[in-house]
Structure 1
């Protein structure tokens, strides 16, 4: 199966295993094993139900692990019988997984790593390469690297967490913004991955700040081709070749932002996106609408009290 398709199916498959009674850590391990198997054994054609196939393989992996672990005998009533083959549930568990990965007990770095693995479907090796750290450090931890690896520690923290209260959307968005700002190292482009994951989140939750963050990412990402010189050095915004900017991404970002602002529930990501949109709309740096940009920075100061926003407002 196509790797991008496999990664897009991860949240749904993981959510199904958790709803069947598997704890998060065991379910996540089983899904990763199923992904490896799907890549290793490539069928001649695309399966009619790729998600159902992944669920079947992952559930069997979970059952095998549970049955072989004497400490998990208490799950015997759960694993006695495998569910009969058939269409998988259409329930979308993506949002539930986002909130789990952004659990307040996790450090920001652990939340980012867990989101990339559980929701993004990236392997530990891909995440480690993106962070420019050894795979063992990311997976299991090498002292004194925070005692344990980010992923192992995060999974242990959220195992058994119940969702009896609504999650914090702001925390989820902060995690996604951290992913976006991690950079472009490794064989997975984390900025592009953050855009993909935020699109996915926007598809399952109707919230103006989710739209605001997606717009902000698109507007920043649109300028990426002009951000660096051939020698790799950063090019200041005023000196960038605006002909290299992605006008399609700019138009999409502006459209999403306008729809979000029309709902009159302003948040910090919408305000940041408005600043980015004004920069993207200006044909040259000299023609930038600095008056409006200062007004938006004033809104950011009001919303967040951020010293950085206050400094930017003064520097305009």
Structure 2
């Protein structure tokens, strides 16, 4: 039997303790997800599904229990290895899009590749190809406020796929969309699952969850139903295009260190600063004027002080004083 990509054993998560009351969010989660699966995690607000997503995506650590990713215990990974997982293995799609307002669609999609140290020409070409694949070839230069909600969500999906996005974690991806745009986003997730990506959909909408091949219901921090257990025939068979656990484990062990990432980050920081100043010309002009006035005031005060000092010294010299 193939090693699951994700294997959770008795995962618990609590907040508080000590002087504040302890709140138990997850109360013992056992879950295995294999390559090529399209999984929907369903639950009401406060059931613990978003906390579970954060743990799955290595954004948070469980209080107790064991999380094995591609056979490796996540608790034994250092900060660089966890950053590699979040950058290379996972792709995040959020309800609120979380796009950079001052960046174009293409620049938003390229952002993960900058931190991975991907050369500029390669990331430009890949971002353009992803946007073209998602039907946004004519919108590459548009900023988020110039895009509809559905288009912004497609940009966020392209960003999730930029470094591979073998596992897509989608937290309420249709929650802020109208029915038509939501249907388009779900069609994209269907296509990604059919191409071998693991898609983990977090939602409270059972109609949206019904698009997945496997539905897991969580309530009060516990899994109360799993269609893969209730009906084993529902579980997705291995997709020939799916990246198996052994492949990801090999890549993780090799380290996949980014080369030259700091250069890309520096260039992008300068470019982003210049872009923000250019967009907000009036505010930039006022800021520069304030700086000029401030520097000029300091220079004048120093000159007045120096002139007064010399005048006093000259008067003292006229009295014959040393």
**Same topology, TM > 0.5:** no
Q: TM-score, normalised by structure 1?
A: 0.29
Q: TM-score, normalised by structure 2?
A: 0.28
Structure with the larger strand share: 2
Structure with the larger helix share: 1
Higher relative contact order (CA 8 A, sep 6+): 2
